[in-house]
Amino acid sequence: MNYSRVNINAENIASAVYDAIGSLEPSIYELLVWMEDNFGIRIKVNSGNSQGFHMISGLAGLEYYDPSINAYRIWYRNSDCEYRQNFTIVHEIAHILRNSPKTFGFSDGDIYNKDEEERFCNRFSAAFLMPKDLFIEKWNAAGKDITFKKVRMTSIFKVSGEAVYYRARELKLI
């Protein structure tokens, strides 16, 4: 497995998606609209409770094509906090992006197995929700105190403290 290559690929794809959308601020809504327009698909996002698939699988989210409504379905767990739900939804969108039969010109043949796909989806989610340049800019503007910086980033990007920490490390800010 080549972790760094998967990470770089996820970063590049998130950046290409931003260019295609023509936006600088993370918006899951804009990402969904762009996915639907670009791939000619429909995506339904729903939340579920601890019954059903969540209870059986223990998954935070799930994505699949539902032929009965001719659309992809994304499920996230409504017991999770909003910030975790955001990460889950973009992770599931990344699966659709990755597996779409219609190429966007950036599919990566290096991602052979499920583990690498999961990693890709996590890294894409981080790179989309915390776009590199914007993250670095806000990080540098948030004073000197690391704890304060992390709290600021959490509220700006609406992701968990853990996700912020990982992103800051990935971008070599800490």
Q: Which residues of 103-127 are buried (b: 16+ CB within 10 A; e: fewer)?
A: eeeeebeebeeeebbebbbbbbbbb
| Interacting positions 114-133 with Zn ion (CB under 5 A) | 118, 121
133 CB-contact burial (10 Å; exposed 0-12 / middle 13-18 / buried 19+): exposed
x/- contact string, 79-118, with Zn ion (CB under 5 A)? ---------------------------------------x
**Least Å distance between CB 62 and Zn ion?**
8
**Least Å distance between CB 114 and Zn ion?**
8
Residue with smaller CB distance to Zn ion, 59 or 134: 59
- Radius of gyration over alpha carbons of the chain, in Å? 16
| Interacting positions 141-170 with Zn ion (CB under 5 A) | none
Residue owning tokens 């889950």: 88
DSSP state of 113: S
**Least Å distance between CB 96 and Zn ion?**
11
- Determine the size of the site formed for Zn ion (CB under 5 A): 2
Q: Applying CB under 5 A, which residues contact Zn ion?
A: 118, 121
